A and B are shown apart, each in its own frame.
Chain A
Amino acid sequence: MSQLVAQSIVSGLLLGGVYGLVALGLALSFGVLHVLNVAHGELLMLGGYLAFFAFTNWGLDPFVSLPLVFIVMFGFGVLLYLCLFRFVTRTETHTRIKNSLLVSFGLALVLQALAVRFFTADERTISTAYSSEALTVWSIRIPVVRLAGLVVAVVAALALEWILSRTRFGKALRATSEDWTRAALTGIDVRRVYLIAFAVSAALAATAGSMVSLGYSVSPGIGLGWTLKALIVVVLAGLGSMRGIVVAGVALGLVESLASVWIGGQYREVTALVLFLIVLSFRPLGFFGRARA
């Protein structure tokens, strides 16, 4: 195996970890609230800027500011739910997708415009003292700031799985996701479950954003691209396994990388989308998806 191929496999894996991390949040809001938040990528963008300004203005290392970014964007998620998505979740489950598309497209445009106004259109990257450091294994470079993205994704997925399977609130979340009417009849405060699930979804997007501004870069327009990747990952993995989402994210990153080496950089996205179509035609519920009643 040539050096180039090995190197791009590693880069693909690392980028794929971030895809997985972004998709975790999207899977949560889509799975539990049945809303499709296309402004998910804009929440990532905001998280990225938060981490960037925390670093440049207050000298906070992105790993130190990570819990802070999580909390602030959790709060922003609460606000968005109360002001916007609450009204979408009042409708029947099957009309929520189209209503949420309208609402969140609008939100995405507003957030982008505000970001250009207040943060300028410049591309920003957090450059720490360790930004250029890398592990070298068999002469393949593994940049630590990018490795962090994959590690955070795996930790987040395992934490989510633990919450969903072990805690009372996690079980309430699964119940609400299956059927909100029955969840309410069980005594679960469905609005509260929705509020928390949405806020965690926003906080996860922002967590991914921190990792993006550390290992890659942020600018006001990056949102839609990330939303699309997350959407592809969620559909590939199916709803049902958080671990599966990270695996699908890594797989997508890997395919994109290999496609750009073997077929050509301009075919990277196309190859990923073709793979997406192939998977869907054989596994309509995704690799790890479970049929729902």
Chain B
Amino acid sequence: MLEVEGLEVAYGDLQVVWGISFQVPRDSIVAILGPNGAGKTTTLLALMGLLPIGAGSVRFGGEDLVGLPTHQMVDRGIVMIPEERAAFQSLTVAENLELGAYTPRARTVYDQTLAEVYEIFPRLAERRKQSAATLSGGERQMLAIGKALMARPRLLILDEPSLGLAPIVVEDIFGVIRRIRDRGVSVLMVEQHVEMALEVADYAYILEMGAIVAQGSGAELEADTRVQEAYLSL
């Protein structure tokens, strides 16, 4: 569904991503893992059109995405949840969800999607009149995911969904990510939390210093000695 070939990204003169290639097949969870500063978030921002792409191609459902403005990516069904505080703090929970369905494509099925989101996250229905700033960490992540679902994604991109959350909440969030995949949404996520991410991911790439150094299914990577030494506390 998403095919990235030879992607290069730089901040001015500082090149961060060095020609990486990866794919997200339909109905699967793909994780990009690696240490802080490996270029994971940079890769996502470039995919979404928020950073200029130096070289390489990005194709989604066969269509070339390079150079497309961010809001049009969303309209095509590529929705990214940025790290932390993805929801607007100055808006209420309901307003955030309403804005989530901003694109014309999502707006037509607004009522139906909203009912689905409230069914997945009953807590959001309880808090719909509250300002997003008053939510707890876990509720914020729920709102972030709920808001993204309102856009009717075909590919959901998550940047560090576990960041700043208690392990038990992370379990919940990863459970939700699985449910979302089972509803026919492909998922691309970036994680520092390698061990937990390998449990949910169907396929994963390890990114170091802006290059992919290992890839495979979750089980394959868990068995890989280099990955074990570098990332897994066994």
Residues of A within 8 A of B (CB): 168, 171-172, 174-175, 177-179, 181-182, 184-191, 290, 292-293
Contact across chains for A188 and B71 when beta carbons are under 8 A apart: yes
Which candidate, B79-87, B112-120, B187-195, B204-212, is the interface stretch facing chain A?
A: B79-87
Contact across chains for B88 and A178 when beta carbons are under 8 A apart: yes
Is B106's beta carbon under 8 Å from chain A? yes
Q: How far is the CB of B70 from chain A (nearest CB, A)?
A: 4
Chain B residues in 8 Å Cβ range of A184: 48, 50, 69-71
State A171–B71 Cα separation when bound (angstroms).
16
Q: How does the 8 Å CB contact mask read for B82-124 relative to A, with 1 for contact and 0 for none?
A: 1001101111000100111011001000000000000000000
Is B32's beta carbon under 8 Å from chain A? no
Contact across chains for A174 and B71 when beta carbons are under 8 A apart: no
Contact across chains for A175 and B88 when beta carbons are under 8 A apart: yes
Size bin of chain B's contact surface: 20 to 34
Partner of A181, one of B50, B79, B95: B50
Contact across chains for B98 and A187 when beta carbons are under 8 A apart: no
Chain A residues in 8 Å Cβ range of B102: 168, 172, 186-188
B21-78: which residues lie under 8 A (CB-CB) from chain A? 48, 50, 69-71, 74-75
Partner of A187, one of B71, B81, B89, B90: B71
Contact across chains for A178 and B89 when beta carbons are under 8 A apart: yes
Contact across chains for B99 and A186 when beta carbons are under 8 A apart: yes
Partner of A185, one of B48, B85, B98: B48
Contact across chains for A171 and B85 when beta carbons are under 8 A apart: no
Nearest-neighbor residue (CB-CB) of B104 within chain A: A187
What are 30 sample pairs from A and B whose C-beta atoms fall under 8 A apart? A168-B98, A171-B91, A172-B102, A174-B88, A175-B88, A178-B88, A178-B91, A179-B88, A181-B50, A182-B82, A184-B50, A184-B70, A185-B48, A185-B70, A185-B74, A185-B81, A186-B74, A186-B100, A187-B71, A187-B74, A187-B79, A187-B103, A187-B106, A188-B71, A189-B69, A189-B71, A191-B69, A290-B90, A292-B89, A292-B90
